[in-house]
Amino acid sequence: MITPETKIRMGMVGGGPDAFIGQVHRCVAAMDGQIELVCGAFCSDPARSESFGHSLGLEPERCYPDFQTMIAREAALPPERRMLFVAIVTPNHMHFAIAECALKAGFHVLSEKPATVSLEQACALRDRVRASGLKYCLTHNYTGYPMVRQARDLVASGELGAIRKIVVEYPQGWLASMVEQTGQKQAGWRTDPTRAGSSNCMGDIGTHAENLAEHISGLRLKELAADLSRFGEGRTLDDDGNVLLRFEGGAKGVLHASQISTGEENDLNIRLYGEKGGLQWKQQEPNTLIVHRLGQPSQIYRSGQDYLSPAASSMCRLPAGHTEGYLGAFANIYRSFAADLRRVLSGDAGSESSADYPGIEDGVRGLAFIEACVKSSQSNAAWTPLQG
Amino acid sequence: MITPETKIRMGMVGGGPDAFIGQVHRCVAAMDGQIELVCGAFCSDPARSESFGHSLGLEPERCYPDFQTMIAREAALPPERRMLFVAIVTPNHMHFAIAECALKAGFHVLSEKPATVSLEQACALRDRVRASGLKYCLTHNYTGYPMVRQARDLVASGELGAIRKIVVEYPQGWLASMVEQTGQKQAGWRTDPTRAGSSNCMGDIGTHAENLAEHISGLRLKELAADLSRFGEGRTLDDDGNVLLRFEGGAKGVLHASQISTGEENDLNIRLYGEKGGLQWKQQEPNTLIVHRLGQPSQIYRSGQDYLSPAASSMCRLPAGHTEGYLGAFANIYRSFAADLRRVLSGDAGSESSADYPGIEDGVRGLAFIEACVKSSQSNAAWTPLQG
Amino acid sequence: MITPETKIRMGMVGGGPDAFIGQVHRCVAAMDGQIELVCGAFCSDPARSESFGHSLGLEPERCYPDFQTMIAREAALPPERRMLFVAIVTPNHMHFAIAECALKAGFHVLSEKPATVSLEQACALRDRVRASGLKYCLTHNYTGYPMVRQARDLVASGELGAIRKIVVEYPQGWLASMVEQTGQKQAGWRTDPTRAGSSNCMGDIGTHAENLAEHISGLRLKELAADLSRFGEGRTLDDDGNVLLRFEGGAKGVLHASQISTGEENDLNIRLYGEKGGLQWKQQEPNTLIVHRLGQPSQIYRSGQDYLSPAASSMCRLPAGHTEGYLGAFANIYRSFAADLRRVLSGDAGSESSADYPGIEDGVRGLAFIEACVKSSQSNAAWTPLQG
Amino acid sequence: MITPETKIRMGMVGGGPDAFIGQVHRCVAAMDGQIELVCGAFCSDPARSESFGHSLGLEPERCYPDFQTMIAREAALPPERRMLFVAIVTPNHMHFAIAECALKAGFHVLSEKPATVSLEQACALRDRVRASGLKYCLTHNYTGYPMVRQARDLVASGELGAIRKIVVEYPQGWLASMVEQTGQKQAGWRTDPTRAGSSNCMGDIGTHAENLAEHISGLRLKELAADLSRFGEGRTLDDDGNVLLRFEGGAKGVLHASQISTGEENDLNIRLYGEKGGLQWKQQEPNTLIVHRLGQPSQIYRSGQDYLSPAASSMCRLPAGHTEGYLGAFANIYRSFAADLRRVLSGDAGSESSADYPGIEDGVRGLAFIEACVKSSQSNAAWTPLQG
């Protein structure tokens, strides 16, 4: 019988000792006490994978040498013991194969973004997910911030009028120098087309910006004109890009993302302007949402306050003034996914659209965006429609 | 044998269904995967306590009706099963009795602040802790922020010169109206002298401010002149206070705290000024530390950056630009405490001073501060030395 | 006949070549094209005074060696030529004598603050002003900011409810080191009791803070407890001070001002909290006023916007987003004074209370504040009522 | 003989009673006491022009009905009386004819931007200026801010390394609704192609952004891809635009400007990123310049501080912490122009490049930018080189 206290059992692929994002996933999965890590295939080296899994408190026999073994062996365990979902936190190029394998074996999937390394793969994965009837969660974690939800709800309410313009930006500076030549692992794979896919900057952070813009505005990006650059000498993938945007319905916008903006940390920001109002959210000050209304003083919406929308309120973990951080927002994605899996366990399959977390459709949009950027840039920033 | 993967077993007293801070403690204890909640006495109503514990996944027989029972029964369990420490998250008036009982039974203690409701109790507790050889952690959680540690390390380095002035403030607005008359639980006990002790505002948040000032500056507060107020009609405890400060060695300062500062959320801020430099930290923008140096542009220190002190770096959970929040900082306290308990389990008892988290000495200082404030205010803000 | 284009003729005492504030006064007097500098006694050295006046385009015979000569000679000129008012921009100790002399000769007076160097002098000057029927303006220039007026109007409207608490602060760092020993003129006289009066820090900037608090709140400070300090070695006057405040009607507050807060520039800030709302204004971001209202998102009032009060609107010189600065705000004081003098010239004497700029009553309050601070501090921060 | 106290005599064309910018020009011209308004042709209605000039204190015979008359009559006055330069503050379409006429008559010219309404005109005007040997100042007033100069000097010093990316933006919201239909004068002519030229948004504010980017970076914009929009129903000129930028030497960038960004005031911002550092300046917080340096804490440069470059220091009017505003920055342009005219009067003609204020070359660049934007947008954002 499924009860509130039943833990949702998670297996992890990737996320070994030096992987920043794997540690984040484990931490946020644990925060709400609803998810239990029961197995993993953490590293390509089987011995390291096992010793690392052991250090996390896993049983030795559930520290697997690779994802295929993990999925096969877990599938063979009795239902009440085996993992319920696989968390994929590897470099991009492995996402598709792992997700496909997991779905085939009947496991739900939670995956780092981008969902795959090509739009074709993403569409194929969408088909697999739909056919499987299983759940798929893509960790566009910034949508887990309460004030992002508040922004989305404000736009949806019509209070800002029809949206005319969106400015979304994501400057970072961590690749201003050739960090990938110093042995830094993440820099290594992100700048490597065999592991990152056709784009570095747009694939890593441009997609976050695109996702945020579509998520908050409720608009679909129709076409774009992108000028991608490789400032780091000898790089084969983009480390910077500037993009003109046109949305269905007539809104326009700008998206720029960068890894060579020296001194910037992780400065994801969005501004939307409608006929009657506007809003601004900055990821580095995530508890604040500035709301503009024609002819009135601008307002400072803050997380934890009573006036928030029900959905935004439910994402606040703390009273106002106690800063919600990256981990709490990320954990909201996991919490929503866990709640959905719990519904499945209770026999309520739900629908794709009812899920309150990013899914495979976001993944398809992300790859459509990445490929349009790359294609447009190869054509000297010609307008390029989003496929998929 | 103690290994890195051995979980530190925690029992909790207080923190039932409606208690904000209990949920925080459980969440942050879980974040690093090193602590396991194994038992609790969550509510004064035994049935509720049990059903709540059950909803957290505890075994029914370890959901206890009260702390005495919990401590007695756990003490009777075999060492490898029983809890290792008690987390006390009740209203203030119960802290002392629970801590005393736990220590007597050989359990380490982690407690919400203030440590007790009187300085006399706090000194008594200090004696008990010292005599027991057990560990005691007081959750002055704001010291868990990396940039607070950076601030402390900068002052200690001497780069700012001798500290001359400290301005520390903690305005909140949640008691601007008579919330305690609406059934809000926390407002109820905090404004009730039988549960909160001799002070509401100074006991709850003034102590955080005092602790932060002493923690960062490394200075001891010598005497103060306090003007406490009760703006809410009919309140018997202070809901606001303004305090002049004098530190040992000649530094001076101001501390003001308030619960009736309409519109403020949780605006704990500190500024320190030395002969050669100064600094500023704001709890609501916790990842930033502004550092002033005579004749130079002020600097923006940010969490996650390479230039931080080793201790501050070790408290960063995320790369720069990914906001560390309240929960992550709070979890740092738990992580340090868990690391210390792990040392104990390994046979390394350590010393009080080596512990990298707030302890009973901070608790004594806090009560000394509260009592000095109350006494000074009763004497029309006469200068009053801190005892203890 | 007085017409809008008639220039208001100004004579200046003080403000020679190296005097920052004299240059400010000339600049802001010129900004609205309504005031003309016609004469001056700029320096104690007659030759320098004359050559400096000449460089400003004054006629040589109206560059006077001292204020007595200036006032006497100007009084002897025909009415349509002679100056209409004297602007006093000397060190503090000379304010009274010059103002008294000017009033006696029938000239209106505009003076730098503090009005005098003692409360006794200030009261005497008040008597002189009242008896003379002439106009007196004290340049508490920060009241010239539109958003300060907006703040005052919001409080007066009752929208924030009865004010309970005021926090006003004025940290500077320019005297963190012994600048007065380097020949810096302003540091020289401000730290010299023979020229500055009984207080340096409180006289210079503490009074601005006090004035701002009374101006915005409409409340009168009743008593205070002050702890003044001299951190600079060998200084005889205060360079820092922390003050507890009690206002008539029950509001309380804190005022702290400092010249040794290393790294601070001119950080005058005020926060007021009422039963139904609150507000915050920061001099270094003067075009913004944050307004809190119970249970609602805080609002960002901005200069130049249509929703401002009529009085605040009239003080805006620029459309929203074009920053009003220190000079524009200062010029608003001059403009109001000029408008009042124009009314006098037109035969409408007006009343003290109708004047829309700070006057001798503010001067008396300022000296009452300074003397109460000094006296309280000498009594170890004993509560001291404001006289006058 | 020219002495420091000789006033520089100014005549004004445009800037009648309701014109915001005319009032600004008169105010800032007066601020330094070096310029005297001696004549004007303020309005197209001669009687109104005269009465308005009279209200400014001008002699009736020097209040002219139109610019041709003014220039002719002033030229006929004796040299020591006649105006020295003409300030042009009319709508855009008149700039060229007035400037041409003034130059022909031997008068120096100061003009609002854009210099003309077409690139062809701008080039022609450049020829006229060069041939005349007279001075021409274009009031790109934002270059008058000290921190803009500091930014330029930092880039020029090489401390930031070669510039790779520039993000410059100028959102406003004042045309979010159809203000031009309410009789608002400025909205009227700016949205009218017969008076504004081929562009509204790009001509008015896009050029400021372009000028700022080139001014600070020292780079020349080579080509752009622009997507201009008309969101206001029925508008014939752009009210919004997003532009991809490519600079000579390989730097790239984004420029976006808007008048329909509801809630924005005048939010001109620029960020530059070089190989070794970066910087950020925001017009609405003009006294602050954020400077990034690889691996170090970012720095907060502030106006009025001793560490500024000599040129930036010379543009500060106030000590640190006393906010320099829009008027002071604007007045710096006038002051530099007046200083240059004074050199001319002294017989030192100087060279175009030595002038420390924006000139006709900036004007040509501005029109090249506007025309490239319009042309690119008409070709669906095709890359378009800047001519001129």
Confidence of residue C20 (pLDDT cuts 50, 70, 90): confident
Task: For residue A378, give every residue at least 6 positions away whose Cβ sits within 8 Å of its Cβ, in sequence order, or none.
Answer: none
ipTM of the complex: 0.95
Q: Are C188 and C180 in contact (CB under 8 A)?
A: yes
Instruction: Classify B100 in phi/psi space as left (phi over 0), alpha (psi -120 to 50) or beta.
Output: alpha
Q: Read out DSSP for C11-64?
A: EEEE--TT-HHHHHHHHHHHHTS-EEEEEEE--SSHHHHHHHHHHTT--GGGB-
Q: Read out DSSP for B147-207?
A: HHHHHHHHHHHTTT-SEEEEEEEEE--TTSS-GGGGT-HHHHHHT-HHHH-S-SHIIIIIH
Q: Are D267 and D169 in contact (CB under 8 A)?
A: yes
Distances (CA, A) of D7 to C30, D73, D338, D341: 14, 20, 9, 11
Is B72 strand, coil or helix?
Answer: helix
CA D68 to chain centre: 24
**Which residue among A5, A30, A326 places its CB closest to the CB of B318?**
A326
- Most B CBs within 10 A among A185, A318, A330, A332, hence the mutation to make, goes to A318
| Average per-residue pLDDT for chain C | 95
Structure token digits, residue A77: 């365990």
**How buried is C131 (Cβ within 10 angstroms: 0-12 exposed, 13-18 middle, 19+ buried)?**
exposed
- H runs (alpha helix) in chain A: 20-31, 46-55, 67-76, 95-104, 119-132, 146-157, 185-190, 193-196, 201, 207-217, 310-315, 326-345, 360-378
In chain A, which residues have their Cβ closer than 8 Å to the Cβ of C296? 299, 307
Determine the residue type at A219: L
SS3 content of chain A, % helix, strand, coil (to 5): 40, 20, 40
Structure token digits, residue C87: 């602007």
Task: For residue A231, give every residue at least 6 positions away whose Cβ sits within 8 Å of its Cβ, in sequence order, or none.
Answer: A239, A240, A260, D164, D165
- The kind and range of the H/E element at D137 are strand D136-138
Whole-number percent of chain B with pLDDT over 70 = 97
CB contact under 8 A, B297 and D307: yes
Structure token digits, residue C280: 């915050």
CA C346 to chain centre: 27
pLDDT (tens digit per residue) in C52-109: 999 998 999 999 999 999 999 999 999 999 999 999 999 999 999 999 999 999 999 9
Predicted pLDDT at D346: 87
pLDDT (tens digit per residue) in A71-121: 999 999 999 999 999 999 999 999 999 999 999 999 999 999 999 999 999
Measured in degrees and rounded to the nearest 5, phi and psi for residue A346 equal -85, 0
In chain A, which residues have their Cβ closer than 8 Å to the Cβ of C300? 290, 297-300
Q: Are B384 and B375 in contact (CB under 8 A)?
A: yes
Predicted pLDDT at A291: 98
Pairing of strands A384-385, A221-229: antiparallel
Determine the residue type at A344: V
Angle at B23 between CA B125 and CA B352, to 5 degrees: 30
Q: How many CB atoms lie within 10 A of CB A253?
A: 27
In the β-sheet with A8-14, what is the strand arrangement from edge to edge? A35-41, A8-14, A85-89, A108-111, A136-138
| Average per-residue pLDDT for chain A | 95
Task: For residue A376, give every residue at least 6 positions away whose Cβ sits within 8 Å of its Cβ, in sequence order, or none.
Answer: A224, A225, A226, A243, A382, A383, A384
How close A35 comes to chain C (CA, Å)?
Answer: 35
d(CA A96, CA A317): 33
pLDDT (tens digit per residue) in A236-286: 999 999 999 999 999 999 999 999 999 999 999 999 999 999 999 999 999
d(CA A334, CA A8): 10
Which chain B residue shows the shortest CA-CA distance from A141? B322
Structure token digits, residue D35: 């310029």
Enumerate residues 275 to 314 of chain D having a beta carbon within 8 A of any beta carbon in chain C: 283-287, 302, 304
d(CA B159, CA B145): 21
Determine the residue type at A177: S
Distances (CA, A) of B373 to B96, B207, B211, B376: 21, 10, 14, 5
Query: What is the torsional sign of CA C115, C121, C127, C129?
Result: negative
Predicted pLDDT at C6: 78
How close D331 comes to chain B (CA, Å)?
Answer: 26
DSSP state of A266: S
Determine the residue type at C52: F
- Most B CBs within 10 A among D279, D298, D302, hence the mutation to make, goes to D298
pLDDT (tens digit per residue) in D73-117: 999 999 999 999 999 999 999 999 999 999 999 999 999 999 999
Provide the greatest CA pair distance for chain B. Answer: 65
- The kind and range of the H/E element at D182 are none
Q: Look at the block and give the residue holding tokens 């920060």.
A: C142
Instruction: Classify B51 in phi/psi space as left (phi over 0), alpha (psi -120 to 50) or beta.
Output: alpha
CB contact under 8 A, A293 and D380: no
Determine the residue type at A324: E
Structure token digits, residue C31: 């900004």
Predicted pLDDT at B350: 63
pLDDT at A2 over 70: no
**Which residue among B30, B317, B326 places its CB closest to the CB of A318?**
B326
Is B83 strand, coil or helix?
Answer: coil
**Which residue among D299, D300, D306 places its CB closest to the CB of B295?**
D306
Determine the residue type at A94: M
| Predicted confidence pLDDT, tens digits, chain D (388 residues) | 556 667 899 999 999 998 889 999 999 999 999 999 999 999 989 999 999 999 998 999 999 999 999 999 999 999 999 999 999 999 999 999 999 999 999 999 999 999 999 999 999 999 999 999 999 999 999 999 999 999 999 999 999 999 999 999 999 999 999 999 999 988 999 999 999 899 999 999 999 999 999 999 999 999 999 999 999 999 999 999 999 999 999 999 999 999 999 999 999 999 999 999 999 999 999 999 999 999 999 999 999 999 999 999 999 999 999 999 999 999 999 999 999 999 999 887 666 556 789 999 999 999 999 999 999 999 999 999 999 7
pLDDT at A5 over 80: no
Angle at B326 between CA B324 and CA B331, to 5 degrees: 90
**How buried is C20 (Cβ within 10 angstroms: 0-12 exposed, 13-18 middle, 19+ buried)?**
middle
Q: Are B226 and B258 in contact (CB under 8 A)?
A: no
Is D20 strand, coil or helix?
Answer: helix
Nearest CA to B42 out of B31, B23, B327, B338 is that of B23
Average pLDDT (C147-175) is 98
Quick check: B325 contacting A, CB < 8 Å?
yes
Q: Look at the block and give the residue holding tokens 């096969």.
A: A72
pLDDT at B273 over 90: yes
Q: How many CB atoms lie within 10 A of CB A105?
A: 18
CB contact under 8 A, D273 and A260: yes
Determine the residue type at A99: A
Measured in degrees and rounded to the nearest 5, phi and psi for residue C63 equal -100, 105
CB contact under 8 A, A297 and C291: yes
Average pLDDT (C325-342) is 96
Q: Read out DSSP for C237-283?
A: S-SEEEEEEEETTS-EEEEEEES--TT--S--EEEEEESSEEEEEET
Radius of gyration for chain C, computed over Cα atoms and rounded to the nearest angstrom: 21
Confidence of residue A311 (pLDDT cuts 50, 70, 90): very high
DSSP state of D205: I
Predicted pLDDT at A4: 61
d(CA B350, CA A315): 41
Whole-number percent of chain A with pLDDT over 70 = 97
Enumerate residues 144 to 183 of chain D having a beta carbon within 8 A of any beta carbon in chain A: 160-161, 164-165, 167, 169, 171, 173, 176-177
| Chains touching chain D, criterion 3+ CB pairs below 8 Å | A, B, C
Q: Are A354 and A341 in contact (CB under 8 A)?
A: no
CB contact under 8 A, D300 and B295: no
pLDDT (tens digit per residue) in A348-371: 766 655 678 999 999 999 999 999
Is A271 strand, coil or helix?
Answer: strand
Enumerate residues 240 to 279 of chain D having a beta carbon within 8 A of any beta carbon in chain A: 240, 242, 244-246, 252-254, 256, 258, 260-264, 271, 273-278
pLDDT at C353 over 60: no
